[in-house]
Amino acid sequence: SQTIHQWPATLVQPVGSPLSLECTVEGTSNPNLYWYRQAAGRGLQLLFYSVGIGQISSEVPQNLSASRPQDRQFILSSKKLLLSDSGFYLCAWSVRRGYGYTFGSGTRLTVV
Amino acid sequence: GESVGLHLPTLSVQEGDNSIINCAYSNSASDYFIWYKQESGKGPQFIIDIRSNMDKRQGQRVTVLLNKTVKHLSLQIAATQPGDSAVYFCAENQGGSEKLVFGKGTKLTVNP
């Protein structure tokens, strides 16, 4: 069966520090991968998605970047965090379009 | 469209009642729709999906109805239980897109 792993679960980082969040999927090949951010009590904002290794589509211009160095690995990064980067970050995967996403358990990021 | 900046609408029901959560979708070319449940501090979980060639689909205690004429989707939960308290999101897969577009979410509170 397929599983998605996302870590860490919580993270407190100072303003100006770098960020690296990792997401891996097991039990499938060539998944579509997604990074979402969710502010407290708000909806889901798509940040990046990838349909293959090295292919990244950015949805919102911002202080973040994403990379997909391996088929089942998706990384969200920042060189210098801002206070506004605080939020709940969710990774998700899908087989392809027309199928639902499976979400990871999320990372609660607080920038102080 | 995406729901990033909106506060969530709320629905409060008594335990044992039926709940109906509504969603208006944006694109007449969308051909796949999903409902997700998100409990506090967790990633969204798949509840039920429906394709555009159907107008109704039933699961365990849940029913999704699709009205393509008015671009409306609803989730019905029978005999609502306290464990159903969560935020519910609808999502649509717009034709040709690799992405799901999420609705603004509805917070369901079940009173004992």
Q: What is the pLDDT of residues A10-66, one digit of tens each?
A: 999 999 999 999 999 999 999 999 999 998 778 899 999 999 999 999 988 688 999
pLDDT confidence of residue A2: 86
Question: Of the candidates B5, B4, B7, B1, which has an alpha carbon nearest to the alpha carbon of residue B106?
Answer: B7
pLDDT confidence of residue B48: 97
Q: Which of A48, A59, A97 to mutate to test the interface with B (most CBs of B within 10 A)?
A: A97
User: How far is it, in rounded angstroms, from Cα B44 to Cα A102?
Assistant: 8
B16-57: pLDDT as tens digits? 999 999 999 888 889 999 999 999 999 999 999 999 999 999
Question: Of the candidates A90, A97, A76, which has an alpha carbon nearest to the alpha carbon of residue A4?
Answer: A90
Q: Which residues of B touch A97 (CB under 8 A)?
A: 32, 93, 96-98
Average pLDDT rounded to a whole number, residues A84-101:
90
pLDDT confidence of residue B7: 60
User: How far is it, in rounded angstroms, from Cα B43 to Cα B21?
Assistant: 19
- Answer whether B6 sits within 8 Å of A42, measured CB to CB: yes
Residue from the list A42, A51, A104 with its beta carbon closest to the beta carbon of B4:
A42
A54-67: pLDDT as tens digits? 999 998 868 899 99
3-state helix, strand, coil in chain A (%, to 5): 5, 55, 40
Q: Is the pLDDT of residue B6 over 70?
A: no
- Answer whether A103 sits within 8 Å of B45, measured CB to CB: yes
Beta-carbon contacts of residue B76 (< 8 Å; ≥ 6 apart): B18, B19, B20, B21, B62, B63, B64, B65
Question: Of the candidates B44, B59, B62, which has an alpha carbon nearest to the alpha carbon of residue B100?
Answer: B44
What count of other Cβ atoms lies within 10 Å of the Cβ of residue B104? 21
- Name the β-bridge partners of A24: A5, A73
Average pLDDT rounded to a whole number, residues B9-15:
94
Q: Which residue of B has its CA nearest to A109?
A: B41
The tokens for A32 are 């579509």
Distance (Å) from the C-alpha of residue A4 to the closest C-alpha of chain B? 11
- Answer whether B93 sits within 8 Å of A104, measured CB to CB: no
